[in-house]
Structure 1
Amino acid sequence: MFKEGICPCCHEKIQVPEDRDQIICMFCGKEISVEEALEKQKSKIRKVSQEEYDQYMDTAKAVLEKLIRECDNPMQNFRKNLYEGAFNDFCSINRPLFEAVDMICGNAEDADGVTTELTDHLINAAKEELAGVKFKGHKNQKQMDYNFLLSIYLVPSAVKYPGEYSEQFADHLLADWNQAFGTNLGKATYEGIAGGFRRKLCYVTTAVCEGLGKGTDCYELNVLKRYRDEYLEHAKGGHELVEEYYDIAPTIVKRMEKEADKEQIYRALYEDYLMPCIRKIEAQEYEECRDLYESMVETLKVKYLM
């Protein structure tokens, strides 16, 4: 006899045999408790005492603060063959946060108020960490790491978690974070992000960097990939711009490759567009970077497509 349950680690819906104590989740491969998987499906919020409520609040704040304090290169596993495992691990490790959010909001007279208290705690922890970073370039990198953590792991995990208040928490967090840091992060899902790996990455930038002997893992390419994933994809009209770019960029690159002076072309693109874009990203001038990159694409369209 099977019942529908939810994996407590990756939050996927699974068919659970009632006559077993432990099973392996077919999605994340983790060994899970049948009882826990079936309880998760119920997703009921029980009435708690003030002492329990305070404990849940402390747990939620501790997890949020730990996410900020220990945030180190969250892009490391953002690769087609690594992201699924990294995301499922994140969901499993931070499950106490989402459980606590449900219990706190479900027992509070003002769910919005306590959600704001939690998001403020995360934002203040981030501001404290940023204030301790001495150099501007390092501070900008740390800010991008935090943006990436929220966009690729924390918010999608909250959206995926089968709780009553977790998605509301994600919405609140994005709104408060964007206001506090002047960002424009959007609400992404795991499925949407994982599906994005089907696209090729940064055609023109990759061609230029490879043509100049910099390789596919150079600083410039990584910064522009981060900019695309963490800012442009979530900015107004940015996703559409990225989609249009991927429609035309392969043809542009193929035609540049046939030019006799292609090395000079790559050098000019690098000096006139790509490095100025990098400098604007480092200075957090994200819209100015967007304008410059659009200008480069329009120039290339005129030269190689029209």
Structure 2
Amino acid sequence: MDFKEMNCPFCKGLLKVPTNLTTCVCMYCGKKIEIDIVDKTVENCHEYENLCEIAMNQGANILLKHLDLMKSFKANLYEDAFKGYLDECLPIIQALDKACARLPYIDRNQLSKQEYSLETEQQLVDVWVKRVLDDMEITCKIKRFENGKSSNSRKLDENRFILALYMVPMIRETRLEVAESIADSITMEWGRRYPLQKFSKADYAEIRDGFKKRKLCFITTAVCESLGKPDDCNELQLFRTFRDSYLLNTEEGTSLVEEYYEIAPSIVNAIKVLEEQDEIYMSLWQEYLEPCFNYIKMGQENECKKIYVKMVKTLSRSYLYQ
């Protein structure tokens, strides 16, 4: 069998490769090597730059063209909306993935655009993420200030929810080699830019399954869990009694409960990906649930209902943009 010597384009280790192979795995770094393209320097550079242009110029569309997706963040709509979003955005993420794969095979001196003259896949991913968020800031007229605050905070939150509930899960769902690096870079860069509006990295299955875990009191249960209260605590028992013995005894109350069960899982799912979720739940307890609890104890169920309705409407506007 004939062999040829070559250097791994990733770690530069010296390899002896059978001449009849088109691919191999480096014995030093474990990376897969496309032998037939290693020597095609000009073609590699041209293809690499084309892929970079697609990824960079279209990257922000993954976010900005889909801000209305929160309308589909419901138990009966999320799966189909997510799959359609994935199909539409996949070519852009694939272009970035392919560009990263080409990076070891290029001659940086032959590139026509030196901004793509990067050394590692992570550098290319980070440049792409910064470009996406830069374009978002320009389009949405968002400015950052030294104290960590930002202008146009509502528009910023719209983008944050799309990132956390659709974009990052979509990128991870592609299962591409570079997917987790992109997801990590987005999460970290967002947190660096907007320290007061961070979000956690989630995946599609986690969010999808969150809609299926039906509990008797979605928001009240989540709040009480955050405060360290058990599922059979006095507060939850009283809230369930209020629901069953007061709200469900009238047509209006039944409609309120049905509306609550329709939107509450979406609200809890949205809050779950936010870094400040504990602060949000504490605020909900102090502003809405504790007063409700006290009104029920005093037999003033109608006053509790008023606060309850206000809470649901406020949460719908804040987290579902309804």
Please indicate the TM-score interval, normalised by the length of the shorter structure.
0.5 to 0.7
Q: Which is higher, the Rg of structure 1 or of structure 2?
A: 2
CA deviation profile, 1:197-240 (whole Å, cap 9, x unmatched): 02354359997x976x989779xx979965x544554327749x
Residue of 176, 188, 200 corresponding to 1:175: 188
The aligned runs of 1:119-138 (5 Å cut-off) are 119-131=129-141
The aligned runs of 1:249-260 (5 Å cut-off) are 260=299
Q: CA 1:148/1:101 → structure 2, altered by over 3 Å: closer, same or farther?
A: same
In structure 1, the partner of 2:102 is 107
Give 1:53 deviation, angstroms. 1.0
Could you tell me the TM-score, scaled by structure 1's length?
0.57
1:66 aligns with 2:61: yes
Give 1:162 deviation, angstroms. 2.3
Give 1:145 deviation, angstroms. 1.7
Residue of 165, 171, 178 corresponding to 1:158: 171
In structure 2, the partner of 1:56 is 51
The aligned runs of 1:198-237 (5 Å cut-off) are 198-200=213-215, 201-203=218-220, 228-235=268-275
CA deviation profile, 1:148-180 (whole Å, cap 9, x unmatched): 111111111111212111111111111001211
Give 1:258 deviation, angstroms. 8.9
Runs of 4 or more above 6 Å deviation: 204-207, 213-218, 221-224, 252-259
Q: Which runs of 5+ in 2 are unaligned?
A: 1-31, 38-42, 104-118, 144-150, 224-238
In structure 2, the partner of 1:289 is none
- 1:115–1:169 contact (8 Å) kept in structure 2: yes
In structure 2, the partner of 1:96 is 91
Residue of 164, 187, 201 corresponding to 1:187: 201
How many percent of aligned residue pairs carry the same amino acid?
18
- 1:184–1:231 contact (8 Å) kept in structure 2: no
Give 1:266 deviation, angstroms. 3.5
CA deviation profile, 1:241-282 (whole Å, cap 9, x unmatched): 79xx9xxx9xx98997797421123445778xx49x87xx69
Q: Which runs of 5+ in 1 are unaligned?
A: 1-43, 283-306
- 2:74–2:266 contact (8 Å) kept in structure 1: no
| d(CA) in 1 for partners of 2:124, 2:309 | 48
| d(CA) in 1 for partners of 2:64, 2:169 | 20
| d(CA) in 1 for partners of 2:303, 2:94 | 57
| d(CA) in 2 for partners of 1:191, 1:176 | 24
- 1:148–1:230 contact (8 Å) kept in structure 2: yes
Q: CA 1:176/1:162 → structure 2, altered by over 3 Å: closer, same or farther?
A: same
Which letter maps to 2:73?
Answer: F
1:264 aligns with 2:295: no
Give 1:72 deviation, angstroms. 2.9
Could you tell me the TM-score, scaled by structure 2's length?
0.55
| d(CA) in 2 for partners of 1:81, 1:270 | 23
What is the aligned-residue RMSD (CA, Å)?
Answer: 4.6
| d(CA) in 1 for partners of 2:272, 2:206 | 15
- 2:62–2:89 contact (8 Å) kept in structure 1: no
| d(CA) in 2 for partners of 1:45, 1:71 | 36
Give 1:68 deviation, angstroms. 3.4
| d(CA) in 2 for partners of 1:263, 1:50 | 70
Instruction: Number of aligned residue pairs: give it.
Output: 221
- 1:61–1:118 contact (8 Å) kept in structure 2: yes
CA deviation profile, 1:9-66 (whole Å, cap 9, x unmatched): xxxxxxxxxxxxxxxxxxxxxxxxxxxxxxxxxxx88556212111111211233221
Which letter maps to 2:169?
Answer: P
- 1:64–1:122 contact (8 Å) kept in structure 2: yes
Which letter maps to 2:134?
Answer: N
1:113 aligned counterpart, secondary structure: helix
Which letter maps to 1:59?
Answer: I
